[in-house]
Every structure is written in structure tokens, then in C-alpha cells.
Structure 1
Amino acid sequence: MSTASLAATAYQQIKLELDTFHYAPGDRFSENEVSGRLGMSRTPVREALVRLQREGYISVLPKLGWVVNAIDFEVFAQLYDVRAVLECAAADLLCACTDTAERLQALTAIWCVPDAERLREHARVSLLDEAFHLDLVQAAGNLEMARIHRDLTDRIRVVRRLEFTREDRIGTTYAEHARILQALLARDAAQARTLLQTHIAVSRDEVQKITVHALQAARRQRLSQAHVA
């Protein structure tokens, strides 16, 4: 297996462990530790860790190894506010276009579908949800706005990763995305902005609740394991 393939495998495994809080915020670990556990050399493991560092999951401590980043919900709430501003501005631009339907055709084909055609796989829906918001801003045609929005998306991905571990979030997201698209297709900018603001605010609050619950469950499991040991 090539180094790139090994690095991709290492990335997926470590990310899963971060998502399930095998490594919790504040935990430290070394490249040697991960390499030994995964049965890989340090090179692909380091590449995987650097990628996770760029995505905001972990940080490197000189001579001390790696540490899982703390989750600052106040900062993330501010980032969600900025996201709402950008997406509402994109909605205004889209509603002013003469080819709105053409620009949104691909998104409409994904989200405006009957319940029987909706995807159920959490990981896949999560990727499509992120792409929905990125593509929506991209479709508005302002390249700088799209660039800033992509950077913002990279920063909040670390907390959004758990949103679709709850089944009800999938159906809710499909319904809300469809309503947003319908407002945009009708060129009702005020309605589109209202729907986007509500959608993003609810997503922010749900992500925080799901993350806090997952953290608490992980801590209880650790305490239970420590007690047994």
C-alpha cells in the first residue's frame, strides 16, 4: 500500500477515534503511540495528523506530542453567526439573478426529493449538508464570499461532525433545505433569509447539545472503565 493510501487509512481511523471521543479534548498522544497501534510507520501517521491539525481537531505541542483541541462553543457560535450573514447575502444575490433555477438545479435534484429517495447514511448526508451550504454560496457568483465561506466551513467542521448521528436531524435537514431552495427559486429573498437564519441557528444549537451529550457519555464510559480496572 502506498504512503498516500496509508495516510488516508490513518486519517479515517484517527478521525473516527476523535469523533467517538476515544481521544477527548485535552488528551495528549504521540506519533509513536499511534504508529504502534495502527501498525504503520510514522510518515503516513504524521501526514494524517497534520491533516487533522488543519481541520482544527488537534494541535501539536513542540517536544510534547499532540493534543486534542478544546471545544469553545462561544467561538463556534460566533462563527455560525458569520456563516448566517454570508449565506443570507448569497441568498440576496441569487434572488437577483435571472438564471436562479439553473444555478440551483443540482442542489434541487439532491434535496427536493420524496422521502423514499432520501439518503439515510449519516456520513453521506453530513457531506451533502456541508456541500449544500458551500454550493449555495458558490452559486451566488461572488468568489471572495465563497472563499471566506469555505474557510469558515473548515473551522466549524470539527463540531458539525456529530450532527447527523441523530436520525431526526436527517429528515429535518432535507425538509429545511427544500424550503430554502423553494424560496430561492421563487426569488423571495426575505423568506429565504428567514429560513436560512433559522436553519443555521437550529443546527448550531443541536450540534452543541449532541456534542455535549457525546462528551458526557464518553466521560462516563471512561470512569466506568477506570473503576473496573
Structure 2
Amino acid sequence: MTSIAELPLSIQISKKLEDDIIYGFFLPGTKLDEQELCDRYGASRTPIREALKLLAAEGLVEIRPRRGAIIPTINPLTLCEMFEVMAELEAMCGRLAARRIQPEEKQELQRLHLLCQDYLKQNDSENYYEANRLFHFAIYQASHNAFLIEQASTLHKRLHPYRRLQLRVNNRMNNSFSEHNAILDAIFAGDEQQAEDLLKAHVVIQGQKFTDFISTIESIQPKS
């Protein structure tokens, strides 16, 4: 397997910048200064610009003519629609996982669930998010549908900054873990309908849950 150090510099930088976006160093609405990026990643402008183009193709960065690159913001209606689609994709993954999950995949899902529990006890939202992210990807893999895995993973990546911010909503981390527990039980029991319903409810944001989420986003976005 190729290590990150063996990849072209532009790809190495794109991965580091992607991590910085995912983990909130660069928040939605942030304008990216090329010189600051050069200093941060120890590179010249050419690989920085190439990295920005790679991330723009994935929707994580928006490049505007004569205005440079920014971390895009999404209007509330579009964000709600994206989470609706994400909820449907994850629900399908859960249904298929309940039918197709293999013993070793059950072990991995259980390991990630316990890891989430450890970080919850430590009130460590950063590491909880990472374990949570891997938990969801493990469910995608357990669906054993390559096209579905690709689509769910792509949209999950596009929503990374916002899914991470969800954990800042009051008591969301505790609720997330409780929901994971029920999802795990349904998948392990082979209950396809229950797994589907629980994952859909887990991911979609509506009602008070949506209002709290939007308030959280507005509170952290850079002021123009």
C-alpha cells in the first residue's frame, strides 16, 4: 500500500487540508489565504493551488474567480435536503448490513462502538467524532454494495464539517451513542426494517434538532 509520503505533494496537501476542514480548523465561510496555506503546509503556491482544485472537485472547497478559495457554506434548505438524502443512503446501508454483515465485520463494528463509549466517558468530542465516522463507514462496508458504499461515502465526506458540528449541539454526543447502541442491536439481530428506520432517524435533521443545529452553525461561522 502506498504511504501518504509517497504520494504527489499536491495530494499530500489536499489530505492535510481536508483533515483541517473536517476537524474544524477551517470553518465554513473561511477564506483560504494561499500564503498562509504555504506557511502551514510548507509548500509553494503551485502544489497548494493543485490541492485546492482537488478539494474543489469534491465540494469541500469553492474557488471563486478573482476572489480565491473559501470553505463553502450551505444554505439551510440545501443542507436539510442533503441530510435527507444522506439519511436515506445510510438507512439502505443499515438494511443491507443487517442482512449481509459478516462475523469479522460485527467485531469491527463492536470495537468502534466501544471506542465511541470510551471517548464519550472522557467527554472528548474530537476523538468521538473520528470513531463515530469510522462506525458509520463500517456500516457502509457491511452493506456489501459497492455502488451504495461509494455514494454514501462521497456524500458523507461532503457533509463532514456539518456532521462534526452536530456534536456541539446540546447533549448530542450522548444521544448519538444511545442511537448507535440501538442501531448495533438491530443490525446484529438481523432486523432489516429496524436497522433502516433507526439509521434514518439517526442521520436526518428536522424539527427542533434542525433548529438547534442551524443555531450552532451560525454561532461559529466567521463574521464578514
TM-score with structure 2 length normalisation? 0.73
**Partners of 2:109 and 2:15 in 1: CA distance:** 30
| Corresponding residue SS for 1:154 | helix
Q: Structure 2 counterpart of 1:138, which letter?
A: Q
For residue 45 of structure 2, the aligned residue among 42, 51, 72 is 42
User: Counterpart amino acid of 1:107?
Assistant: L
* 1:71 match: secondary structure: coil
For 1:141, the equivalent position in structure 2 comes to: 144
Q: Which residue of 2 aligns with 1:61?
A: 64
After superposition, where does 1:44-123 map in structure 2 within 5 Å? Answer: 45-46=48-49, 48-50=51-53, 52-97=55-100, 100-112=102-114, 118=120, 120-123=123-126
Equivalent of residue 179 in structure 1, options 158, 182, 192? 182
Q: CA 1:214 to 1:82, structure 2 compared with 1: closer, same or farther past 3 Å?
A: closer
Say yes or no: does 1:11 pair with 2:11.
no
Alignment partners' CA distance in 2, 1:127 and 1:113: 10
Contact 1:104–1:136 (Cα < 8 Å) also in 2: no
TM-score in terms of structure 1 length: 0.71
Aligned equivalents of 1:117, 1:37: Cα separation in 2: 29
Letter in 2 for 1:77: C
Identity %: 23
Residue 13 of structure 1 deviates from its aligned partner by: 9.1
Change (3 A) 1:162 1:52: farther
Distance 1:208 1:6, change over 3 A: farther
Alignment partners' CA distance in 2, 1:89 and 1:147: 13
What's the CA shift for 1:126? Answer: 1.3
The equivalent residue for 2:161 is: 158
CA displacement, residues 63-95 of structure 1 (integer Å, 9 cap, x when unaligned):
432234231222222222222222222333233
Contact 1:35-1:42 within 8 A present in 2 as well: yes
Displacement of 1:107: 0.7
Backbone CA RMSD of aligned residues: 3.7
Highest relative contact order (Cα 8 Å, sep 6+), 1 or 2? 2
How far the C-alpha of 1:151 sits from its partner, in A, is 1.4
Unmatched 5+ stretches in structure 2? none
CA distance in 2, matches of 1:113, 1:57: 27
Q: 1: distance between equivalents of 2:71 and 2:162?
A: 13
Quick one: which amino acid aligns to residue 124 of structure 2?
E
Q: What is the CA-CA distance between 1:4 and the residue it aligns to?
A: 7.0
Unaligned runs of 5+ in 1: 224-229
- Judge conservation of contact 2:18–2:60 (CA < 8 Å) in 1: no
Aligned to 1:227: none
Contact kept, 8 Å, 1:73 with 1:208, in 2: the verdict is no
Report SS of the residue matched to 2:70: strand
Name the CA shift for 1:69/1:113 in 2 (closer, same or farther; >3 Å): closer
Deviation of the 1:141 alpha carbon: 0.9
Distance 1:95 1:218, change over 3 A: closer
Name the larger-Rg structure.
1
Q: 1:203 to 1:113 in 2, by over 3 A?
A: farther
Instruction: Give the letter aligned to residue 80 of structure 1.
Output: F
Aligned AA for 1:7?
A: I
3-state SS in 2 of match to 1:66 = strand
